[in-house]
Amino acid sequence: MLEFFNLYITLISSIFNLPEMEGFAIAVAVFIAVTILVGVFAGKLVNRSGKRLIVAGKSLPLFLVGTMLAAQAVDGNSTLGNIALVFQFGFWAGAVIPIGLGVCLLLVGAFYAKPLNKMSMITLPDFYFRRYGNGAEGISSILMIISFLILVAGNLAACGFILEIVFGIDYFWGITIAALAVVVYTIAGGLFASAYTNLFQVYLAIGSFWAAFLFFLGGFADTPWDIIYNNATAVGGAGFMDLSGLYDVANGALLNWGALFALGLGDIIALDFMERVFAAKNPKTAKRGALMGGALTMFTVIPTSMLGVVAFFYLPADTLPDLAMPLLATQHMPFAIGAGILMGVVGASMSTASGGLLAISSVISRNLMQRIIRRRWMNKPNWSDNKLLNTTRIVIVPMMVIGTAIGYFVPAPGVYLILAFDIMFAGAFVPLTLGLFWKKANMPATIAALLIGSVLRLQFFWTMPEEWWGLDTMIPPIVSLIVFVIVAYATQHKYPGKARHDVRDYVPPEEDVIAGEDLKHFGDGTQAMDGGSSSSDPPDNSDNSDLGKYEKDYLERMKK
């Protein structure tokens, strides 16, 4: 192993013409190498199964689920992006990112994790298929793919900025190294790779952020804390730190609330979060894991946001905001703390990019290629579990190329995160929530909400005046909700929502799930628990035996 590390460091040095790598560069290089090795070795657990690659065979315990959810939240977007936004615009501009993500995970744990895990799904668009049919599955899949390509790009950009600083290389090479590392261990280990690399990534990041904050707060730096803190209001103005960022439109209140809603509610439809919810071994574990992940994320709000205040004191005003965190870590912190932050953030960013990449590829291979194109349009036989595995692995490569290209040409990690879930919040949030909790939710309402919400958000991107930015995030989901309810009531006679409401309690056999025939036995009077949860409350499908004529006709159409 030591020989491998020496070879690795020598190779990096020769490629980039570095006479001698300094401590930070060596630490990060070794950390990336360890991450790749752990991820590749985790590939042994995949066991030639697409389901095990994508959701770890629905087998993960509480500690891993909570850790993985926290790692997806405490990534380069939410840490480097948080510090960059605080440095540039003030405390609340950045703090809303970890607050929003923490609120999201707490809401997932409180309301969504248990019923969604119980359904034994592989991807989130599976829910839209089961509840609403192929049309909703296809539209939601495309929206999720677009949003998560943005998320992957943001995390690769964060890695690229850090590697640019610590290796002294061009940003292009930084983002390329990160992309290659991610694609290798994602193809090899899938979600298992994320599970075992997260164990040492996220806790290192959280611990290092707190150590850095306490280093400055405790007066161990070259400047007392009160001078650092007071500089924010003296130079940045009173609005830099006070609550006006939450109520004064002139100080960005609309933008901040828009970000909170986009992350707190829009991130509920996050593919990577839901992968981990689905991977929990049972509904109770999924619920507790989401609550644990939310608590860990909230624990990062103070240190990461306050480091933005520290950066505002130490760094020149013309510093590129996205470089604030790596510059602060390498120039103004003790080596151990700075290296810990850099390694933790690079690791968490790679993990989130890996999770997003895996989620995108699984949606393309399973929901678009297997179920819609192959089965629905071409009427060809189902794929085996091994075929799903191989196809997902192949799709990973072009998706990584696209994500890397976006991250290279438009690098803005903090903004990426909010934009990614703006898209989902606008159209997909209402159909998911009402599909779980309202019996009248149906297919026409979902199609209308998905399209109108997303198109309206896109229109606002071009037409909303700058002084009202933030409303472009908050208005589309409200319109989506109104449209959903009106259309659902107007179409109940032909498309009765209650015909498919019980899918939330139906657990298909594992072979049906893998084949993409999730509803093959739904409503036929049998109940399969083979591939599902270990919940002690058996689902009740008795309502299906009493369906009226329209409900039965609708159910048969949707199953086909």
Contact 532, 120 (CB under 8 A): yes
What's the whole-number average pLDDT of the chain? Answer: 86
- Interior angle at CA 323, CA 319 and CA 326, nearest 5: 125
Q: State the CB neighbour count (10 A cutoff) for residue 12.
A: 20
Q: State the CB neighbour count (10 A cutoff) for residue 33.
A: 18
Answer with the residue of higher pLDDT: 15 or 231. 231
Which residue, among 258, 264, 305, has the nearest Cα to 79 in the 3D structure? Answer: 305
CA distance 190 to 180: 15
CA distance 51 to 278: 11
Residue 530 has a pLDDT of 41
- pLDDT, one tens digit per residue, over 34-68 is 999 998 888 888 888 888 888 888 899 999 999 99
DSSP 532: S
- pLDDT, one tens digit per residue, over 316-360 is 988 888 889 989 998 999 989 999 999 988 888 888 889 889 999
pLDDT reading at 17 higher than 60: no
CA distance 143 to 76: 22
pLDDT reading at 15 higher than 60: no
Residue 439 has a pLDDT of 94
- Interior angle at CA 320, CA 319 and CA 321, nearest 5: 100
- How many Å separate Cα 544 from the centre of its chain? 36
The region of weakest confidence among 324-333, 467-476, 541-550 is 541-550
Residue 62 has a pLDDT of 96
Answer with the residue of higher pLDDT: 277 or 12. 277
* Assigned token pair, 137: 């599955």
Length of the chain: 560
CA distance 156 to 373: 31
User: Could you tell me the domains of the chain?
Assistant: 24-411 (1.20.1730.10), 498-559 (no CATH)
CA distance 338 to 488: 54
CA distance 286 to 124: 15
pLDDT reading at 296 higher than 70: yes
Residue 539 has a pLDDT of 39
Residue 510 has a pLDDT of 86
**Taking residues 205-220, what's their average pLDDT?**
94
Residue 526 has a pLDDT of 52
**Using N-to-C axis directions, what is the helix angle for 443-463 and 125-132, rounded to 10°?**
130
Residue 525 has a pLDDT of 55
* Residue in the structure block whose two tokens are 């790679």: 350
Residue 132 has a pLDDT of 95
Per DSSP (E only), the strands in 320-426 are none
pLDDT band at 550 (very low <50, low <70, confident <90, very high): very low
Cα separation of the two ends of the chain: 54
Predicted TM-score (pTM) of this structure: 0.87
C-alpha dihedral sign at 410, 414, 419, 421: positive
Residue 1 has a pLDDT of 43
Which residue, among 391, 353, 430, has the nearest Cα to 516 in the 3D structure? Answer: 391
| β-strand partners of 60 | 280
- pLDDT, one tens digit per residue, over 162-199 is 898 888 889 999 999 999 999 998 999 898 988 888 88
The Cα diameter of the chain in Å comes to 78
DSSP 377: I
- H helical segments located in 218-252: 225-236, 244-247
Which residue, among 485, 444, 479, 443, has the nearest Cα to 459 in the 3D structure? Answer: 479
